Chain A
Amino acid sequence: MSRQGLEAVLIAQREPLLRFLRARGAGDGAEDILQELWLRLVNLDTGPVADPRSYLFRAANNVMHDRYRSAQRSRQRDADWIEAQGLSGEASDAPQPDRELIARATLAQAEAVLEAEGARVLQVFRLFRIEGVGQRQIAQDLGVSLSAVEKDLQKAYRALMRWRETLDAD
């Protein structure tokens, strides 16, 4: 689908998209967000898009999730900044925590959490969330039913959410 094609779909789907953005918490900003999204899309060489309607909704969904994530991040940064300031007055000369080391340790912990839910849970989650394979394809490749894949993913997400809560509580 060309850019003109995508534009036609956007015009046709304008109302449902605005409604979706509002339901995703955009409120009065929905119009602006849709406009911004459109500018991003026209500046992006998207190549062929198989399902343009889904593509636009997905992009709108991603924008809203990004907003959620960056609000979370700046809250976290404020907290960390106050913490760093609080430790030694004006500034902290503490040795910097090694980012990669922390990432590695956190990932190992998350993978252990997933593995505890069953060996296949970790494998299914990786294929789905990291390799980007769809549930139907995972079921075919692993020779299990679609609902088994679904259940594994539910277990994985529940476990990760519980785990994140315990991290925040620390």
Chain B
Amino acid sequence: MMTDTGEQTRLQAIDWAIATHDPDFSDWDGFARWLEADPRHTTAYDQALAAGAQVAELSAEVRPARPQAANDEDRIAHRSIVRRRWLGGALAASLLAVIAIPAWQMRPQPYSVTTAMGERETVDLPDGSRIVMNGGTTLALDRRYPRYARLETGEALFEVRHNAADPFVVETGDVQLVDAGTAFNVARVDGSLDVAVSEGVVIVNPKAENVRLPAGRRASITGVHAAIIVSDVPVDQVAGWRSGRLSFSGTSLAHVAAALERGLGARIAVDPSIAARPFSGVVQIAGRDSAAVASIAPVLGTRAVKRGDGWELVGDNAQP
């Protein structure tokens, strides 16, 4: 049972969570005094804040995947308000950026490399390590720290020159990968991560779970709670995209489409009703381009419909 003081603290915490989130809030001294009144207040406040943040994050995660339907009544109802608040939104976004800046940005001389969909690029690092980037990929690197890379989005194969005294570190999301003599492929699509090792060993999150992935193993880090699931992967299938041969095993169509986007350079949406459907099999994309989507779609048990300058994969029997 919650005591009365506990309940009171919780209600106050909610009020402060609401007040401080408001873009107009300025009574930080009043807030500090409330926090100082009881050391339990700060946790109660974080709990209230987290309850609101969770829904906002889920929305951010889910909304972009939806097709931008013009008949979305909800969207239209809010459009005028949203547009009027454009400036306020920009301010909120800049505040959000403060939260999101990861620790590595404190280090000097960062730069980033981005490939367009369908484009490839190889980054040769000064230590002899090599990063082969698939299409639609952004890497953040740092000249001061050549043994460090951050995969912002997309997919890349890391062929790392091993040095036990100075391990190569790849960060992505809040996951850290440390090499122990290695070639490994990392794919980051939305928030989920797939790491597959073809040579040597990779250590996932050495300071937390400390999962050792030897060659022939892969780790999927997915889900709201970021569980790590380890499974086997044939070594010759790691980074199959380099040879234009994409193999999938129980992969959702949403992620298959993302892999095709990176390889073919075509924009490919998936009808939400089939986006979660799993696909297992191999798709050849070597030497093919955007037009190939139409002939690949049936392999996935779908049909490709032209939408603007991209495609949408719909169920076999769906109306266009």
A interface residues with partner B (beta carbon < 8 Å): 16, 19-20, 23-25, 36, 39-41, 43-44, 46-47, 50-51, 53-55, 57-59, 61-66, 68-70, 72-74, 76-78, 80-81, 83-84, 91-104, 106-107, 110-111, 114, 125-137, 141, 150, 153-154, 156-158, 160-161, 164
Contacts and interface: CB of A to CB of B under 8 A. Distances in A.
22 contacts: A23-B35, A24-B35, A24-B42, A62-B99, A64-B42, A65-B50, A69-B50, A72-B50, A73-B225, A76-B226, A91-B229, A91-B230, A98-B252, A99-B190, A100-B65, A103-B62, A129-B53, A131-B85, A135-B18, A137-B81, A137-B88, A141-B81
Nearest to B61: A103
B14 A102 contact: no
Contact of A131 (B49, B78, B99, B254): B78
Contacts of B276: 98, 100-101
B295 interface: no
A101 to B, nearest CB: 4
Contacts of B59: 107, 126, 130
B318 interface: no
A47 B63 CA distance: 28
A56 to B, nearest CB: 9
B29 A16 contact: yes
Q: Is the interface of B mostly helix, strand, loop or mixed?
A: helix
Considering the complex of A and B, which 7 residue pairs feature the smallest CB-CB distances, nearest first? A132-B92, A23-B35, A80-B227, A91-B230, A57-B28, A107-B58, A160-B51
Nearest to B95: A58
A30 B89 CA distance: 30
Interface stretch (B133-141, B216-224, B234-242): B216-224
B82 interface: yes
Interface in B259-300: 275-276, 278
A129 B229 contact: no
B208 A62 contact: no
Contacts of B50: 65, 68-69, 72, 164
Contacts of A157: 14, 17-18, 48, 51-52
Interface stretch (B19-27, B152-160, B164-172, B308-316): B19-27
A28 B278 CA distance: 50
A102 B190 CA distance: 14
B142 to A, nearest CB: 12
A81 B29 contact: no
> Which of A55, A93, A96, A129 has the most B CB atoms < 10 Å from its CB?
A96
A81 B151 CA distance: 23
Contact of B95 (A62, A94, A96): A62
Contacts of B230: 84, 91-93
